[in-house]
Structure 1
Amino acid sequence: MAATPAPSAVIELLKPLTWFAPMWAFACGVISSGQPASGQWPVIAAGVLLAGPLVCATSQAANDWFDRHVDAINEPNRPIPSGRIPGRWGLYLALGWTLLSLVVAAALGPWILGAALFGLVLAWIYSAPPVRLKRNGWWGNAAVALCYEGLPWFTGAAVMAAALPDRRVLLVALLYAAGAHGIMTLNDFKSVEGDRRMGLLSLPVQMGSQRAARFACLVMALPQVAVIALLVGWERYWHAGLVAALLAGQAALMVRFLENPRERAIWYNGTGTTLYVLGMLVSAFALRPLVGGV
């Protein structure tokens, strides 16, 4: 009988650092809804729990289980290839977190349950055969970007309104999710060799590091330009100006990143991506007075 994994190994498997993005996007959804938080804090807390430690953690556990052979090359110290998560415990944890996520989502209402179910399906087909979306960087990155940015934003707005969010909220959330496709490409630079050996067609593998880096920067920038134009059209000039300033800061950092993408992808994730998510927050505040309008 396989040994029971240590709690520290389980926590490492669930990758708490990755929870920030969906939790932040959920908070942006809450803010953009325009609904008062007073009296809603238990629901908000449950939604944050659902976005990060449950749904996102589920996706991480499933990915590590189905990626265990790739990780044996790229990251042999990860919990599963190192043996700290023995036997089939990685799969059992992914299944258990899936069920727990659905229970919490059901308690938050039908819109949230539907969003969580959609996100969990994407999480599993991203990693699991026969679909395994991550085999191709175009489809895999799109699925992760939607689950990390667009879906949590929708969930945060829907849980506050207990209804389908305003169409402007949906549009801005979708644009930031599209831009996050570029962020997902940045994450692929660290595993190019293992991906190539295992037949995973990440964009750096398909396009080469330099072209993939330029493409990632373009994909991150263009949706933000669209958001700025929308905010100007909605007469939210100060917010548009702040997002534009944050985009200008990203552009300056992109120049340095493009000089050596393989070496500086992690650096750009910690700098340029921070400015990207700050723009999300500014845009969420810009939407507040507009929700419920025409």
Structure 2
Amino acid sequence: AGRRPFPVVCAADADAKETTKPKVPEKAPAAGSSFNQLLGIKGAKQEDNIWKIRLQLTKPVTWPPLVWGVLCGAAASGNFHWTAEDVAKSIVCMLMSGPCLTGYTQTINDWYDRDIDAINEPYRPIPSGAISENEVITQIWVLLLAGLGLGALLDVWVSHNKTCFGILRG
């Protein structure tokens, strides 16, 4: 028979008694900066400050595309003018879409991935215990309600006859 280009190990050849578990890193590499940690970038330095950990869960690095979406949408509408009111509406919309609702989805994603992260990335805030489960649940609700509240404010502010929340109520 021809020679194989790679070694082949059959199950019978392996020692059944010898089992090795892959080594799981106990903490993130310390090479990353605190700034990377705040942005939610993988491999960042660990933080102890609860507010920095909360910010990390919202992954600010994911916000810029949404801010650009608000700016481009406002510009494309033809209704945006550089008045204080239009700028304020845009800023409220950016807060709603970035920190509140994207932060909500990023935090809830980390919450549901906590068991997987406990194996693959045990240094992340939730599986490492850097933030308690109650604090995470509170953050999820606060971000969701803040985002919905800002959405309702914008709905009323732009004078919709029947607001989105009014439609949902029936």
Query: Shorter-chain TM-score category?
Result: 0.5 to 0.7
For 1:126-160, what per-residue CA distance to the aligned partner results, in whole angstroms no more than 9, with x for missing partners?
xxxxxxxxxxxxxxxxxxxxxxxxxxxxxxxxxxx
Q: Do structure 1's residue 99 and structure 2's residue 145 form an aligned pair?
A: yes
**Cα drift, residue 23 of structure 1:** 1.7
Counterpart position of 2:55: 11
Taking the TM superposition and a 5 Å limit, the aligned residue runs for 1:161-200 are none
Q: TM-score, normalization: structure 2? A: 0.59
**Cα drift, residue 114 of structure 1:** 3.9
- The number of residue pairs the alignment matches comes to 112
**Cα drift, residue 49 of structure 1:** 0.8
Alpha-carbon distance in 2 for matches of 1:21, 1:75: 26
Amino acid paired to 1:54: C
Stretches of structure 1 that go unaligned for 5 or more consecutive residues are 119-294
Higher helix share: 1
Counterpart position of 1:47: 93
Counterpart secondary structure, 1:109: helix
Counterpart position of 1:69: 115
Taking the TM superposition and a 5 Å limit, the aligned residue runs for 1:18-167 are 18-39=62-83, 40-109=86-155, 114=164
Alpha-carbon distance in 2 for matches of 1:107, 1:23: 18
Taking the TM superposition and a 5 Å limit, the aligned residue runs for 1:226-265 are none
Counterpart secondary structure, 1:37: coil
- Answer whether contact 1:65 1:90 (CA < 8 A) is retained: yes
Alpha-carbon distance in 2 for matches of 1:74, 1:20: 27
- Answer whether contact 2:126 2:132 (CA < 8 A) is retained: yes
Aligned-pair identity in percent equals 32
- Answer whether contact 1:57 1:97 (CA < 8 A) is retained: yes
- Answer whether contact 1:46 1:104 (CA < 8 A) is retained: yes
Alpha-carbon distance in 2 for matches of 1:25, 1:42: 16
Amino acid paired to 2:132: P
**Cα drift, residue 105 of structure 1:** 1.0
- Answer whether contact 1:13 1:78 (CA < 8 A) is retained: no
Amino acid paired to 1:89: E
- Answer whether contact 1:54 1:100 (CA < 8 A) is retained: yes
**Cα drift, residue 70 of structure 1:** 1.4
**Cα drift, residue 18 of structure 1:** 1.0
Stretches of structure 2 that go unaligned for 5 or more consecutive residues are 1-48
Taking a change above 3 Å as real, the CA distance of residues 67 and 114 of structure 1, as seen in their structure-2 partners, is farther
Amino acid paired to 1:36: F
Alpha-carbon distance in 2 for matches of 1:22, 1:36: 17
**Cα drift, residue 27 of structure 1:** 1.6
**Cα drift, residue 60 of structure 1:** 0.8
**Cα drift, residue 33 of structure 1:** 0.6
**Cα drift, residue 74 of structure 1:** 2.8
Taking a change above 3 Å as real, the CA distance of residues 42 and 18 of structure 1, as seen in their structure-2 partners, is same
In our comparison, the structure showing a higher alpha carbon Rg is: 2
- Answer whether contact 2:104 2:143 (CA < 8 A) is retained: yes
Alpha-carbon distance in 2 for matches of 1:50, 1:14: 13
Amino acid paired to 2:154: L
**Cα drift, residue 37 of structure 1:** 2.4
